[in-house]
Amino acid sequence: MKNKKSQIKMFETIAVLIIFFVLIGFGLVFYSRIQGPQFQEKQEENFELKAIQTAQIVSFLPEIQCSSDGIITNDCFDILKIDALNYVNTGEIRDEYYFDTFGYSNISINQIYPPGVNWEIYKRPLTNSKSKSSIQVPISLYNASSREYNFGVLNVDVYR
């Protein structure tokens, strides 16, 4: 008689444990379905923040910023410095040097007024990218030889 009672109690314990684990499984599935869209949204937000960060880094590159007597002007790029950067650091040498800073992105400057030259600062696209974030920043282009300011746009495309 004691043997049958202990078997029944052991069966009850195993049944309770099975029900407990099934409930935990349902809870995990429910939680993962709730958190899935939030996780995707957070990834997209982080990607956009990375693109903004890349645009800010480019805006403050000392290699191309305008300066006068050691004073740096914000949102201003020196055309002579941009030309020198493109002349000295061409192609893969430049792209390898800046890869740690910019990753997979394309960075270019377009002179809007007066219509003129377009410069490619950095080019390293991701061939099979899932998405691309494009940011355009209005900038001033200073021509030191003619002492004129022109209007331009900094284009930053970041790939994921």
- The tens digit of pLDDT for each residue in 34-63 reads 888 888 899 999 999 999 999 999 999 988
CB 118 within 8 A of CB 109: yes
Q: Which two tokens stand for residue 63?
A: 């290699």
> Residue 89 has what DSSP assignment?
S
Q: What is the pLDDT of residue 126?
A: 87
Whether 75 has a pLDDT exceeding 90, the answer reads no
Q: What is the pLDDT of residue 3?
A: 74
pTM for the predicted model, two decimal places: 0.76
Q: What is the pLDDT of residue 141?
A: 95
Per-residue pLDDT, averaged over 61-89, amounts to: 86
Q: What percent of the chain has pLDDT over 90?
A: 54
Whether 27 has a pLDDT exceeding 70, the answer reads yes
Interacting residues of 124 by C-beta distance below 8 A, sequence separation 6+: 95, 99, 102, 103, 104, 105, 106
Q: Which two tokens stand for residue 45?
A: 């937000």
3-state secondary structure at position 20: helix
Per-residue pLDDT, averaged over 9-26, amounts to: 94
Q: Which two tokens stand for residue 111?
A: 């002179």
CB 121 within 8 A of CB 64: yes
Q: What percent of the chain has pLDDT over 70?
A: 95
Tell me the average pLDDT of the chain: 89
Per-residue pLDDT, averaged over 92-106, amounts to: 83
Amino acid present at 138: P
The continuous run of DSSP H or E covering 137 comes out as: strand 132-143
Alpha carbon distance 77, 149 (integer Å)? 10
Q: What is the pLDDT of residue 1?
A: 62
Alpha carbon distance 123, 125 (integer Å)? 6
State the pLDDT confidence band at 6, using cuts at 50, 70 and 90. Answer: confident
